């Protein structure tokens, strides 16, 4: 065992085991609530809950009809948080998201003044439904909200409520009426979560449950303060320098200009993952450890979230598209080729 890992395990004793057990129990309770409504999609649900515990945002990608919107609406009902849904359409304007200033007359003095009217982004949990069906100019209205958790209108800046999470659904870019999500916008999302078709057995259960008269009830499991405390707990999970170096190496070698990048990255990748990827790999590994009742983050935690973190950050070139190479293949090869310290 290396000195760094031994020190991390020693440091992990300072993380309260009771708090980790409580977080794991809350996660199981949330799973129980969501499984009342969502059939299958267990990996999707798992990654959505990791996003909440990390304090991040997530992009849910899949064709229409896979319960992406239903999942986030159900999550809103399972958490005691304010929830707003924004339907992204081609004619949506930035002010329709962030809010605007209107002129109001003071009934007492008769003077006019500017009054800020908050938009639907002012909520703890925001569902940006079909985000890539609106032009990039409107998509850009989400940049400041997702990074700084605030909105600037005129000379004033307005803070968003805490916690603040954006879950965006996205249709495949090949579908009619979609726009490419700008790289700067996509990079704000911690995870890109793929939603796949259910199995035949799962689809039969969906049909049976949605064509009857019973509607499952959902009860809130966590409130805003409990979620904030859970996010602090996740960040307090120790991680060794060796695991951090592994996460950095995964992100760095996805960049074609990196001196250690493999030949296939230099051949097929136009843009690699930003430093946010390294941060989110570690944060995801910490959250994975916490919900599993494990007192420290490890290599497997990093590897378990690599596809979700890197999928939308590895931008392929025309040569790759012509050969029908997808980001998942590049990520799989990086996971195989980038060694951990234990592989040395």
CA atoms within 13 A on the CB side of 201: 2
pLDDT band at residue 8 using 50, 70 and 90 as cut-offs? low
Find out whether 93 and 139 touch, Cβ atoms under 8 Å.
no
- pTM for the model stands at 0.89
Task: State yes or no: pLDDT of 33 exceeds 60.
Answer: yes
Q: Where are the beta strands (DSSP E) in 40-124?
A: 58-61, 79-80, 83-87, 99-105, 112-118
pLDDT in tens, 68-87: 889 999 999 999 999 999 99
Print the domain residue range for 153: 3-343
Q: What percent of the chain has pLDDT over 70?
A: 93
CA dist., res. 133 & res. 155, Å (int) = 30
Terminal CA-to-CA distance of the chain, rounded, Å? 13
* C-alpha pair distances (Å), 34 with each of 74, 94, 135: 6, 32, 32
CA dist., res. 221 & res. 250, Å (int) = 36
Q: What is the DSSP string of 168-187?
A: EEE--TTSTT--PPPHHHHT
Question: What integer is the mean pLDDT of 203-210?
Answer: 89
| pLDDT of amino acid 180 | 79
CATH number, domain with residue 19: 3.40.50.300
> How many structural domains are present in the chain?
1
């Amino acid at each position: 065992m290396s000195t760094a890992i031994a020190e991390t395990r020693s440091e992990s004793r300072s993380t309260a085991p009771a708090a980790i057990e409580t977080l794991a129990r809350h996660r199981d309770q949330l799973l129980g609530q969501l499984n009342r409504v969502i059939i299958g999609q267990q990996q999707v649900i798992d990654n959505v809950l990791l996003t909440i515990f990390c304090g991040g945002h997530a992009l849910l990608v899949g064709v229409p009809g896979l319960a992406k919107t239903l999942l986030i609406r159900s999550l809103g009902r399972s958490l005691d948080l304010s929830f707003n849904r924004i339907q992204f359409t081609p004619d949506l304007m930035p002010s329709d998201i962030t809010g605007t200033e209107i002129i109001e007359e003071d009934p007492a003095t008769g003077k006019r003044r500017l009054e800020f009217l908050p938009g639907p982004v002012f909520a703890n949990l925001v569902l940006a439904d079909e985000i890539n069906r609106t032009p990039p100019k409107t998509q850009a209205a989400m940049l400041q909200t997702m990074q700084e958790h605030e909105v600037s209108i005129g000379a004033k800046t307005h803070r968003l409520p805490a916690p603040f999470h954006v879950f965006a659904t996205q249709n495949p870019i090949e579908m009619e009426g979609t726009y490419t999500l700008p790289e700067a916008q996509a990079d704000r999302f911690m995870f890109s979560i793929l939603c796949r078709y259910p199995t035949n057995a799962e689809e039969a259960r969906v049909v049976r449950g949605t064509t009857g008269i019973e509607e499952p009830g959902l009860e809130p499991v966590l409130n805003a303060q409990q979620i904030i405390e859970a996010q602090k707990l996740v960040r307090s999970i120790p991680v060794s320098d060796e695991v951090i170096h592994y996460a950095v190496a995964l992100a760095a070698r996805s960049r074609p200009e990196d001196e250690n990048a493999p030949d296939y990255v230099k051949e097929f990748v136009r843009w690699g993952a930003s430093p946010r990827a390294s941060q989110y790999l570690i944060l995801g590994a910490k959250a994975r450890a916490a919900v599993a009742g494990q007192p420290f983050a490890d290599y497997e935690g990093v590897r378990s979230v690599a596809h979700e973190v890197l999928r939308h950050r590895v931008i392929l070139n025309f040569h790759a598209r012509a050969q029908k190479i997808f980001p998942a293949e590049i990520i799989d090869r990086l996971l195989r080729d980038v060694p951990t310290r234990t592989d040395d």
